[in-house]
Amino acid sequence: GTNGLRSSCWPFCLPRRFPSQLLAATALSSGCHSWSLGRRRADAMSPDPHFSASRRAFLKLPSQPEIQRLRPPWTDEALVAARCTSCNACTEACPESILRPDDTGRPEVIFDGGECTFCGKCAEACAQDVFDTKRTPAWPMKAEFQPGCLQDHGIACQVCRDICPTSAIRIDLTKRPFGRLRIETDACTGCGACLPVCPQDALAIVHPKEDAQTA
């Protein structure tokens, strides 16, 4: 019987198949205020009507989003996937050390200190025709401002403009108090020199847009 049990612990002493209706009724008659906990335990044991253990349902589980890699100049994802043997010759030849093997051993560009000078050393080191050096320009990528630029928050900062080798980053002085930075896409080569110097990580290398882009 349950009369001899304290109301604070008696629901946990009942069998798991104890009906939830009887559990609630007994708890109310004994003055126990924790009957809802027992009700939730009983309801938790009932199967989910939307759950399906079939193989078809399992195979339809949502997949992880594909990671977009930044491949070296004169290449693209299709060329790298079809011809690269993960020999790492191009990554070892890069004088700026911005080419790194990804988790499959294939080269990707990571701007964490250097910039791409488009010297062509990576293409020269490749023996598998992964690099199409006839492409002009070497790649279509451009720099783009992301949220967080200090200039937009009233703090004068133009280190990206100072380091840009093609002077593609301009300042619009009609914006107060310090002006607003903008990128001339026609002048930008996507070299990535501006990325590692930004104190706010407010720049990225992306596919170009038609108009010049502002911070």
3-state DSSP call for residue 114?
coil
Which tokens sit at 164?
């840009």
Which tokens sit at 50?
């939307």
Cis upstream peptide for 47 (omega within 30°):
no
Residue 164 is predicted with a pLDDT of 97
Decide if 51 contacts 32 (C-beta within 8 A): no
Name the β-bridge partners of 79: none
Give the least confident one: 2-11, 79-88, 123-132, 162-171.
2-11
Q: Tell me the per-residue pLDDT of 92-137, one tens digit each, with 9 for 90 and over.
A: 999 999 999 999 999 999 998 899 999 999 999 999 999 999 999 9
Residues of the chain above pLDDT 70, percent = 66
Q: Tell me the per-residue pLDDT of 1-45, one tens digit each, with 9 for 90 and over.
A: 444 444 444 444 444 444 444 444 444 444 444 444 444 554 545
The residue whose two tokens read 């004994």 is: 30
Decide if 82 contacts 53 (C-beta within 8 A): no
CA distances from 72 to 35, 195, 203 (A): 64, 16, 19
Continuous H helices in 72-165: 77-83, 89-93, 121-125, 159-163
